[in-house]
Amino acid sequence: MSFFGLDCARKKEIELERKLRANDREYNLSFKYATNAIKTSKYNLFTFLPLNLFEQFQRIANAYFLFLLVLQVIPQISSLSWFTTVVPLVLVLTVTAAKDATDDINRHRSDNQVNNRKVQVLIDGKLRSERWMDVQVGDIIKLENNQFVTADLLLLSSSEPLNLIYIETAELDGETNLKVRQALTVTGDLGDNIESLAAFNGEVRCEPPNNRLDRFTGTLTYAGQKYSLDNEKILLRGCTLRNTEWCFGLVLFGGPETKLMQNCGKTTFKRTSIDRLMNVLVLCIFGFLAFMCTILAIGNGIWELKDGSKFTVYLPRQEGTDAAFSAFLTFWSYVIILNTVVPISLYVSVEIIRLGNSFYIDWDRKMYHARSDTPAEARTTTLNEELGQIRYIFSDKTGTLTQNIMTFNKCSINGKSYGDVYDYTGQRLEITERTDTVDFSFNPLADSRFAFHDHALVEAVKLENPEVHAFFRLLALCHTVMPEEKQEGELFYQAQSPDEGALVTAARNFGFVFRSRTPDSVSIVEMGQQRSYELLAILDFNNVRKRMSVIVRSPEGKLSLYCKGADTIVYERLHQSCSKLMDVTTEHLNEFAGEGLRTLALAYKDLDEEYFSQWKQRHHEASTALDERESKLDQLYEEIEKDLLLLGATAIEDKLQDGVPHTIEQLSKADIKIWVLTGDKQETAENIGYSCNMLREEMNDVFVVSGNTPDDVRQELRNARATMKPETADDAVVLGKGVKVMADEVVNGEYGLVINGHSLAYALERSMELDFLRTACMCKAVICCRVTPLQKAQVVELVKKYKRAVTLAIGDGANDVSMIKAAHIGVGISGQEGMQAVLSSDYSFSQFRFLERLLLVHGRWSYLRMCKFLRYFFYKNFTFTFVHFWYAFFCGFSAQTVYDEWFITLYNLVYTALPVLGMSLFDQDVNDVWSFQHPQLYVPGQLNLYFSKTAFFKCALHSGYSSLVLFFIPYAAMYDTVRDDGKDISDYQSFALLTQTCLLITVCIQLGLEMSYWTAVNTFFVLGSLAMYFAVTFTMYSNGMFLLLPSSFPFIGTARNSLNQPNVWLTILLTSILCVLPVITWRFLLIQLWPTINDKVMFKVRQAKAAPPPPTRRARIRRTSSRRSGYAFSHAQGYGDLVTSGRFLRRPAVPRSSGFAHTGRTTTGFSPMGRSAGYSPTGRPQNIKAQNVEVTSLQMYRTVQNPPL
């Protein structure tokens, strides 16, 4: 029943160890493990109504209106009909419930779609197609290429040699490069033999369900032997099988117990800070209402004792009614009469305003992405004003800040830089989409999606420049990329990192095509000729070496070592003869790094045959040593990787999305702190931090926290704090008793903080979380690397818990879902990694740059409009209600209303509804261009300056003053007054008409003072409401209406008799002036003496005669940097051992020719995995090759058998 939301919450012991047996459902069912069904929905048919109503009545006002409804049913108390409350209450509840139901139906559909996917399960010795939700722990299932992994599995066997498989883990960690998993030999021997698999009865003991994606511990017991299990043998739900025909796996964890679901946060009911403030204010209002009603009830009791007996002739009392009981009834009568302090129309109006501002986001063409045909979407209508109060943004990196596209942008070869484009005067041109691209039609094996703009490099290749050839030969040989060619000419590269794919694809386009490999050879096509190099050794990459080398023998028998790595590392190993070339290349590297590109140095050396034979022997001995194997190998690598000759350097761009640096700069000016939480490697994240202007060279320091123990992490955090604010270095971070908010601390200078995943795990422990938060909040930018999805959510929760700040999380993948759910506002980017983030988000669009407009324009306007609405709404309703309070002292506390009943009914519904809605939907202090020009306009929203308890209190005082004027000025003006013809004018009905007319005109003038942006619609609403009032008043008070229903329209003739008197209009004028004059005076003094940022900018706008300023030209951000933005640093532990072991080998590829034509372009087009720079895991075309480009042909090519290096 859990699928339908009826989770029977049985008390279950904490699982300490998981035990299961393959192909034995009866045994496994005894442990009551979770099935593979998932549930992300909140309701079902049975629970929707009670749960939804429970959520809605958490809003105190809704509960209050329900209580009021009960009171209105009692005839002794109520002077108003019950349906005046029940209709709007039911309307509000129904609209909200319908919206919640729609959201939950979408979640049900998503759940059903996933749960009903089909997979082949081995049952009773046969493969059967079963739904995902029916898969159970202990089942053996078969997966095929490109299928999603159904549950957390132990890999048993695969179609690939030595039981390897390739998986993509984008939904888990955001990384799109492929990863390798390998089954145990003992299970791999089962192959795809169904009988053997059905007879498999291995028992697994492993860790209980948890959220750690990076580790797994367990054992398999089979045929009397025990085998160790680790993460390399586990397939996690959410992964996708790639380049593997089939594999079999044993289900270890299902559904909610899988690591993916353990990392998914819970769907929470999100409410804005204004909603929460409103709850507090409504409680205060109720208290004040009770206080007023108590005073009036006491007044009624005193009046009944003193003067009530005189009126019993006119108002006979009911049996058993004394002064005390009369006071009791009066209390409840005034509760009903004075309930307009919190009218239900307030909540109806709030929902309408939020809906309208949501439509503005949906309709905004400036947030529409034409290339992907994706508009912005407000997926919720209840959080708009919260967008104007964001103080912390938590962003994913891959696919959110970046496009997840690696482009080979520039290179330096033998002291010459390639990649820039110059005009005929020698001026460097900015490269845009319109810039001409190099024509690679001479190379039929080129990747059509690769784009390069500097024609000089392809000309150098065609002119057979030996250094250029050696440069690309190195790129084609020195890597661990695995090629796949299912059909002639259709090359697919599977690289362990996108950088490697981009470099190999660049070499491929410039005529050095990596075609295939075996454990001891690499085959490439060099300028049209097939050549096979003997692969003698791979000196693999690791985090200490920061470089990789290969030793190859050319077809001519020449021994060479090719090395690529971080330039600082490679430079230490260069021959002295390279010093001049090093200086020039360093200048180029600085220039590349200044543009945020990921740089890499390339070098080579020729080896002596005799020396290499000796070295290889020693290498074999070291690699088989039992003690200190790693250090011995490192010494050998150091020995051979010296006296290298520098070839040049490459520069790869991890392509940022358009406008990311500008957006981050604008948001920083708006005092919004941005934290990047990424599953990517530390160096990669740092590079992006510099590229997108989060980290800057001008910063005083960038702290890196990478401790491996809690003590190390705590010390590193304290050292960082000591640098920023020495006096706080040794302070223990302890919040005061009852204090749950950590105050902001001001530091001198700007700092950045980078912390990796295992250090963050310690930092988030209860004993250290305040240390971490305090240090991080002192920094301008924070980057957390190698974090799990759950850690992302924990960081967000930490900031929410101890900082009184509104948070926003933005991401594009399934690994960002928990973070998006945890933040106050969740934004999904519809990008490369599916729609999971979008489905869980509150707002979605396709580009990070649209976040600037969402916050600085839509968010700020929504917050400003909502605050103005609330201030004005409380003012007009308090003023309306307080007049009743003053009148009570003149009517014997009899609960008589001061206004006509029809005016009370229509005041909020007709007379004042549209003008305030017009202001709340169309008002803006300055337009969007000025908002971008002055991001500081956003700061008041973060500080709650527009609406707070203080603002509410001022509003109440203002209303109290206005109500005194509105009651006593008309009262004094009408007292003992006669008409022009000498008749008496001071009757109750005339006084009621005068008071309500003064009230309506005053609140309309006050609205005009609040409004900053007048439109035709606003003007029509204000004037139309006044016209409507007079039209309705004259109609209601006419003879005809009285004759139709005398009891309902008792004010016959009052309007025409009162409103034709000059003293009535003079009273209206005097009252309006007295109400508005103090407001105008106070605002004038404020603007002159203490102007806000809004006042200053609005003054500038008026000075510019409301003409928008010229838009700021987005200068291309170029930073001079001595820091290396190193590709080699971002590389993971390599595949070198795997490559040379032969374990990766695939079935033989199809026979092929070199496929290289000298002229023209053949039709054997590739469908490679590359994007614009030649590598992308999804293979989507990004840059289409320019059509009809004339072929450049300087000369015909010949293959140089042994080009000099």
Residue 396 a catalytic site member? yes
CA 1162 to chain CA mean position, Å: 45
H and E: helices and strands count for the chain: 41, 35
Identity of the amino acid at 460: A
Distances in Å between the alpha carbon of 490 and those of 432, 481, 487, 1044, 1068? 29, 16, 6, 88, 86
For residue 560, the 8-state DSSP code is E
The three-state secondary structure class of 737 is coil
The residues near 753 (Cβ < 8 Å, ≥ 6 apart) are 702, 703, 705, 720, 775, 776, 779, 781, 782, 783
The residues near 64 (Cβ < 8 Å, ≥ 6 apart) are 282, 286, 342
Q: For residue 968, how many C-alpha atoms fall within 13 Å in the half-sphere facing its CB?
A: 11
Is 354 exposed, middle or buried, given 0-12, 13-18 or 19+ CB atoms closer than 10 A?
A: buried
**Separation of alpha carbons 856 and 941, rounded Å:** 10
- What does the chain come to in residues? 1205
Instruction: With CA atoms as reference, report the closest residue to 915 among 1048, 1047, 1018.
Output: 1018
**Separation of alpha carbons 935 and 940, rounded Å:** 11
State residue 531 phi and psi, 5-degree precision. -135, 140
Sheet holding 178-182, edge to edge: 178-182, 164-168, 240-242
* CB contact at 8 A, 924 and 1017: no
> Which position among 100, 104, 111, 396 bears the catalytic label?
396
**Separation of alpha carbons 470 and 288, rounded Å:** 85
| Residue 947 tokens, joined | 């609406």
Instruction: With CA atoms as reference, report the closest residue to 562 among 654, 618, 480.
Output: 480
DSSP line for 812-849: SSGGGHHHHHHSSEEEEE-BTTBSHHHHH-SEEES-TT
Q: For residue 1143, how many C-alpha atoms fall within 13 Å in the half-sphere facing its CB?
A: 18
The three-state secondary structure class of 551 is strand
| Residue 221 tokens, joined | 């017991």
Element (H, E) at 570: helix 567-571
| Residue 549 tokens, joined | 């080398």
The residues near 1026 (Cβ < 8 Å, ≥ 6 apart) are 1000, 1001, 1004
Element (H, E) at 762: helix 757-763
| Residue 459 tokens, joined | 């000309």
* CB contact at 8 A, 879 and 1003: yes
Residues annotated as part of the active site: 396
